[in-house]
Amino acid sequence: MAERIIELRDISKSYGQVYALGGVNLSVDRGEVVGLIGDNGAGKSTLIKILSGVVRPTSGEILVRGKAVTGWSAARSRDAGIETVFQDRALAVQQTIVRNIFMGRELTGFLGWLKVNKEIEEASRLMREIGFTSKVFTPQSIVGQLSGGERQGVAIARAIYKQAELIILDEPTTALSLTETAKVFHFVRQVRASGRSILFIGHNIHHVFDIADRFVVLDRGKVALTADRSEVKSAEDLINFMEDVAHPGGLAGLHDTGDAERAVR
Amino acid sequence: MSKTMEPDLHEPSTAIPRPQKEWKHPSDQWLRGFILDNRASLGTLGVFIVMMAVFMIANPTVFTTWYLYSSVLTTLPVALFVVVPLVFVVTCGEIDLSFPATMGFASWVFALVVQAGYDPFLGIAAALVTGILLGFLVGSLVVYGGLSSLIATLGMNFLLRGLIQIINEGKSMALTNLADSWAYKIFSSQVYGIPVQIFWAIAFVVLSAMLYNRHRFGAQVRVVGDNPDSAQQMGIDVKRVRVKVFVFVGIGAAIAGTFSVMINFTWWPTAGDGYLLPVLASVFVGGTPTWGGIGTVVGGAIGAVTVSFIQTGVVAAGLSGFYVQFFNGLIIILSLLGHKWNQARYR
């Protein structure tokens, strides 16, 4: 059995009276791509924020490589080798690409002085590695001047620096062009080939189906389904399942694919 | 592999060769890059040069005498020691209006130590500790208390000044033994007719500019001011960074207060009071925008030079003192209009 990178046990999160998550179990093993799907309000974002340490769970246990952790925080999550590409990309748009890539992890030498040249060098290497290069920008360009796809590239470059063991991609293909989406998929395959893990959150079930080894369906704060790739024949299977979960008792009239897709979107 | 994927998915990075030569940018040309990177401070410098040219044409004789510059160079350093940390605060998305009281409070501690007969160096150390503690107090109040920095620091300014007034009942302290001390010779004498304070202030500005641009502290201050949520998601202790900038103002205010006492050999309970508005004006005249994330330390310093020359310049140019406020306002508005052209805002 592959090493377990992270495991969430019985995680709950409530905001006042509102339950966002009610007892979620989720684990990611080394080298697997887990696809997390669920309707709006299913609790996907809360789950990601807990994994990345931004939000603390109300109750439950987090295990990193089999060991329970205390004092979970964003810094601790990154130290544990978990990097997150947030849906809003979490970039500081008035800063340079370099400053964004090294945000919270500045390359410093004596007394905290920045190794500016080393940062620029590393940043250009990273950008070239993932294929986000351009004539019009350099590592010292301001992020606010970049297109959506280029910004996503910066966010991904930040995540792969330091060989993270688990990369969380939160709706990485939203608002991207076809070629940019293709680049993201290519990147996911590269990461898996290098033996690292990915948690892929997507709205588009076809995208998730194409890429994941295992699917986790979240519904109203609970895991409704965990299935290996071999157990699911097609994306339509997943869509039908989600529909059943969303509307128990069935919506007989909705079973042509067009409506079904609309229902899960 | 699924057939729903487009064919160019598989090797996009190798399909199109990406030679390194493509990494070109307008800023690769040295001069253009320099101007682009420093346009805010260069703009401020332009305003200053134009203003001085106008003054010189208005009254060439006064503006070629050294005395005028010597007097500005004596008082300007006091302002510089607070303008520079305030650039950090504004970049971080906050404001600090409590620095005049911190100047008064720290210099009061300095005056007490000196008056008690201790070495002025010990007084400076005590003033610095006071500044750090007050900065930490104000910062914690804003950050951990979750208060608006505009209002909370204004309140602290009144509160601390009030304390000084209550305890001293308006009485000043004369520090006559200061003139013979080593501290005075090092920090407040003259070298070839140039007030030595300005060298210390320049060193402070240079160090702070490096701290701003080339140190983890400056990098985190800019990121926190730009997008605090992202900074937090990336593991930066946002609250700690915010408290640190207030502590930095405390340190600057303590130095400024001590220098102002050493110029006059006297501590007044109002020490620092007159600096509130000129210092704030200097920060914004210098090209640091109000919304946070970006700023310029060198620009702020040039802004301070500009603001200190307005008053001297207007009077020396032969206009009555009634014109000073008018010109202050004029320069501030013109600078802001100028910087608006320079600053691209991405949100």
For position A239, which CATH number holds?
3.40.50.300
Give the range of the structural domain holding residue A114, as residue numbers without chain letter: 91-163
Tokens standing for residue B112: 């007490």
Residue at B347 is within a domain: no
Q: Where residue B196 sits, what CATH number does that domain have? A: 1.10.3470
Strands A33-38 and A197-201: parallel
In whole angstroms, what is the distance from residue B131 CA to residue B115 CA? Answer: 19
Tokens standing for residue B250: 């405390």
Residue at A183 is within a domain: yes
Query: Does residue B164 contact residue B112 with C-beta atoms inside 8 Å?
Result: no
For residues A28-47, give the mean pLDDT. 89
Whether residues A129 and A232 share a domain: the answer is no
- Identify the domain boundary among A106, A141, A163: A163
DSSP-derived secondary structure for A132-145? ---SS--TTSBGGG
Tokens standing for residue B88: 């950090």
pLDDT at A171 over 60: yes
Whether residues A179 and A76 share a domain: the answer is yes
A101 band by pLDDT with thresholds 50, 70 and 90: very high
Q: What are phi and psi of A205, to 5 degrees?
A: -65, -30
Mean pLDDT for all residues in chain A: 85
Instruction: State the pLDDT at residue A248.
Output: 67
Whether residues A136 and A190 share a domain: the answer is no
Instruction: State the pLDDT at residue A194.
Output: 86
In whole angstroms, what is the distance from residue B234 CA to residue A64 CA? Answer: 19
Whether residues A159 and A148 share a domain: the answer is yes
Out of B27, B216, B235, closest to residue A112 by CB: B216
CA distance B302 to chain A (A): 23
Residues of B in contact with A106 (CB under 8 A): 216, 219-220
For residues A134-148, give the mean pLDDT. 84
Check A103 against B6: CB less than 8 A apart.
no
Check B346 against A54: CB less than 8 A apart.
no
Cα angle A176-A178-A179, degrees, rounded to a multiple of 5? 100
Instruction: State the pLDDT at residue B347.
Output: 56
CA atoms within 13 A on the CB side of A74: 20
Which DSSP letter does residue B6 get?
-
Using alpha carbons, select from A246, A177, A233 the residue that is nearest to residue A259.
A246
Residue at A139 is within a domain: yes
Mutate to test the interface with B, among A94, A96, A97, A147 (most CBs of B within 10 A): A94
Give the model confidence (pLDDT) of A203-231 as tens digits.
788 888 888 999 999 988 889 888 888 88
Whether residues A183 and A233 share a domain: the answer is yes
pLDDT at A256 over 80: no
Using alpha carbons, select from A168, A228, A216, A209 the residue that is nearest to residue A26.
A216
Q: What are phi and psi of A222, to 5 degrees?
A: -135, 150
Whether residues A121 and A43 share a domain: the answer is no
Whether residues A137 and A48 share a domain: the answer is no
Instruction: State the pLDDT at residue B28.
Output: 57
Whether residues A97 and A117 share a domain: the answer is yes
Check A90 against B237: CB less than 8 A apart.
no
Search chain A and give the residue with CA nearest B293: A94
Highest mean pLDDT among A36-40, A164-168, B67-71, B298-302: B298-302
Residue at B183 is within a domain: yes
Residue at B34 is within a domain: no
Query: Does residue A19 contact residue A12 with C-beta atoms inside 8 Å?
Result: yes
Residue at B124 is within a domain: yes
- Identify the domain boundary among A117, A143, A163: A163
Whether residues A75 and A187 share a domain: the answer is yes
Residue at B200 is within a domain: yes
Q: How many domains does chain A have?
A: 2
Tokens standing for residue A174: 């939203």
Residue at B32 is within a domain: no
Mutate to test the interface with A, among B14, B224, B234 (most CBs of A within 10 A): B234
Query: Does residue B272 contact residue B260 with C-beta atoms inside 8 Å?
Result: yes
Instruction: State the pLDDT at residue B6.
Output: 41
Instruction: State the pLDDT at residue B243.
Output: 98
Residue with tokens 């002085």: A113
In whole angstroms, what is the distance from residue A21 CA to residue A12 CA? Answer: 5
Out of B13, B234, B237, closest to residue A90 by CB: B234
**Residue B77's CB: how many other CB atoms inside 10 A?**
28
Residue with tokens 């070239």: A128
Search chain A and give the residue with CA nearest B211: A113
In whole angstroms, what is the distance from residue B208 CA to residue A159 CA? Answer: 31
B152: left (phi over 0), alpha (psi -120 to 50) or beta: alpha
Whether residues A263 and A174 share a domain: the answer is yes
In sequence order, the 6+-apart residues with CB closer than 8 A to the CB of B16 are: none
Residue at B3 is within a domain: no
- Identify the domain boundary among A115, A139, A163: A163
Whether residues A41 and A96 share a domain: the answer is no
Out of B217, B236, B347, closest to residue A112 by CB: B217
Q: Find how far residue A198's CA is from the centre of its chain.
A: 7
Residues of B in contact with A73 (CB under 8 A): 235
Q: What is the reported pTM?
A: 0.88
Residue at A196 is within a domain: yes
Mutate to test the interface with A, among B27, B220, B233 (most CBs of A within 10 A): B233
CA distance A249 to chain B (A): 31
Whether residues A147 and A247 share a domain: the answer is no
Residue at A14 is within a domain: no
Residue at B17 is within a domain: no
In whole angstroms, what is the distance from residue B344 CA to residue A202 CA? Answer: 33
Residue at A1 is within a domain: no
Q: Find how far residue A241's CA is from the centre of its chain.
A: 23
Give the range of the structural domain holding residue B266, as residue numbers without chain letter: 44-340
Check B219 against A133: CB less than 8 A apart.
no
Query: Does residue B92 contact residue B270 with C-beta atoms inside 8 Å?
Result: no
Q: How many domains does chain B have?
A: 1
Out of B5, B10, B226, closest to residue A210 by CB: B5
Out of A112, A183, A210, closest to residue B215 by CB: A112
Lowest mean pLDDT among A173-177, A249-253, B239-243: A249-253
Check B24 against A84: CB less than 8 A apart.
no
Cα separation values, A91 from A15, A143, A151, B33, B280, Å: 26, 8, 8, 23, 29
A239 band by pLDDT with thresholds 50, 70 and 90: confident
Residue ranges, chain B, pLDDT below 50: 1-24, 26-27
Query: Does residue A85 contact residue A173 with C-beta atoms inside 8 Å?
Result: no
The H helix count followed by the E strand count for chain A is 9, 10
Instruction: State the pLDDT at residue A174.
Output: 81
Residue at A230 is within a domain: yes
